[in-house]
Each structure stands twice: as structure tokens, then as C-alpha cells.
Amino acid sequence: MSSLPQDLAPPDALKGVRVGVSVSVTPDLARLGLLESHFRLALGEIARSVLVLGGTLAYGGHLEASGYTAFLVSELKRYGRRDRPLAVCLSWPEHRRFRLSRLEGWRRDLGLFGELTCLDPCGQPIAPHEGRGEHAEPETDPAVITRSLTSLRTVLTGITHARVLIGGKRVGFLGEMPGVLEEALLALDAQQPLYLAGGFGGVTLDILRTVSPDATTWLPTYAQSNIQDARYEAGLNRVAVSIGDNHWAGLRNGLCDTENYLLAMTHRASEIAALVSLGLSRLAKEGRLRC
């Protein structure tokens, strides 16, 4: 995309800026003829762009070896940033389901590439060993799990300057609503710049339908019967209220309508990363990025 070259911004354009990333694979990938590898390519390009411009990343992690935390760490190792540019926060139910030795192994693996913070159900940092032994002690109370996930997402909003959304599953989620949707709402409530990469469908595209329906006609909606959880619909209604009549301007992301329209449709990793970097760089130059 020659109209959006990455070298428009100086190498330190995002120095001091931390970007939150909300990602979750969606069944829409199959409808779009895409693979999860395309999804990871986009995530990797966004991470690279932020890092190259001097920024840092934040992610509410899962510790599976095949998950996106591990993927982001591998990207950091590729690009050589050793100033701990990745903040990984683990919710209470996430870190309690692992042995202490596994958590310590993850902390060692992050090393100079990032910091690992464990949270209690209220979102306060906690030592992983507090109140437990070596063995995993999974949390089973649905109310505690829901509170813990909302606390995690609130903490992430508080330590970031902007948020990027990709994908998002509509069903089978834990917590009050899908994580991608709740993180979008928290960003909107905090008047935080929001970048909606809709080309992979999912919750992100459904959010875009409330912002600019014309930008989402390329992918037919799911039948109502396929979205059976009322919490999901309630969350989308809250997005509509937050956006109101502001449409694209309500995202406060430094992109014009045409650029946001392209971000809503493209699944090209280079275009997504270029657009996110462009919007962030503009906001940073104008001093409009605040935690």
C-alpha cells in the first residue's frame, strides 16, 4: 500500500506508547477462506510495526505453548528488542491453573523481552506463590472467574494508550461477555484510541457494524439463532450507545474515514499494520495519547 509507507514516522515515533492487543480466532476465518496463519501474520506485523517505532505492547495472556502469548514472545525475539517491551498480565483463573514451576519457567523465558504480572480477582498484582503450593489450584467459581476477567481487562486498559482489535469469538466465552468486546467497551469508556481490524470477521466486525454498517456489507451477518447469548447482544448495544452519532470519529484513532474504512475490510497484514502505525504516529505527534 504505497500511500501509507511506514517511513512516514521517525523510528522513535511511538516511544513511551504502549499498545494493547485484543485477539481471538473466529469461525469467520473459514467463511473468508483464511487460515489461522493469516491471523498470526497480521498480529506479527502489528507487533513489529509498534516495536520498530519504539512502542511497547500489552496482552492479557494465556500460557499455552501454541497461544498468542508465546507467539508474541517469539516475535520479540526475532526483532531483538531487549528492553522488556511486552507486558503480559495473567488473570487469577489463568495463573492458578498452572504449577508454580511452569509460571516461573514462563517468567524466565520472557527474560529481557517482557514482564509477567499475576493478578488477584480484583486486579491487584499478586505473587504467584501467595496462598498456594506448587500444584495448580484451578478457580471454579463462575462469579470469581467473571470478576477476575473484567479486572484483568480493566487493568490492561489502565496501562495502555491505545487498543487494536482483531477477530473475537461470539460464543463459548468466559466472563461477562467476549473478551474482545469487553476490552473494546473499556477502551471506549476511557476515550482510548481504538483500531478495528475487521478483515478477519468475528466480534471486531460486529462492532464495526455499529460504527459504520456500510463498511461491513462484504460479509453477511450470522443468523440471529447462531448468537444465542444475550450477554453478547447486550455488549454490542453498549457499544452502539458509546459510539452514538460519532461513527468513525468515536474511535479517536487518528485515521480519517477512508482509512478506517480500509482497516475495517482488509485482511492484508501489511495494510493493517501500516494503518495502525499511521494513526498512532499522528496521535503521538499531536500529544493525544494518554494512559
Torsion 96-98-101-106 (CA) sign = negative
| β-sheet bridge partners, residue 238 | none
What whole-number percentage of the chain has pLDDT above 90? Answer: 74
Question: Sorting pLDDT into bands at 50, 70 and 90, what band is 290?
Answer: confident
Whether the per-residue pLDDT at 223 is higher than 90: the answer is no
Question: Sorting pLDDT into bands at 50, 70 and 90, what band is 7?
Answer: very low
Task: List strand residue ranges (DSSP E) for the chain, in order.
Answer: 18-24, 56-60, 86-90, 114-118, 162-167, 194-197
Amino acid at 227: I
Q: What is the pLDDT of residue 9?
A: 72
Q: What is the pLDDT of residue 222?
A: 64
Whether domain 14-279 has CATH 3.40.50.450: the reply is yes
Report yes or no on whether pTM surpasses 0.85. Answer: yes
pLDDT tens digit string along 25-56?
A: 888 998 899 999 999 999 999 999 999 999 99
Whether the per-residue pLDDT at 232 is higher than 50: the answer is yes
Q: What is the pLDDT of residue 64?
A: 85
The two counts, helices (H) then strands (E), for the chain are 11, 6
CA dihedral 191, 201, 279, 55 (to 10 degrees): 90
* Lateral strand order in the sheet of 18-24: 114-118, 86-90, 56-60, 18-24, 162-167, 194-197
Mean of the per-residue pLDDT values of the chain: 91
Phi, psi for residue 245 in degrees, rounded to 5: -95, 10
Whether the per-residue pLDDT at 193 is higher than 90: the answer is yes
Q: What is the pLDDT of residue 229?
A: 79
Q: What is the pLDDT of residue 6?
A: 46
Q: What is the pLDDT of residue 226?
A: 58
Whether the per-residue pLDDT at 102 is higher than 70: the answer is yes
Largest CA-CA distance found in the chain, in angstroms, rounded:
56
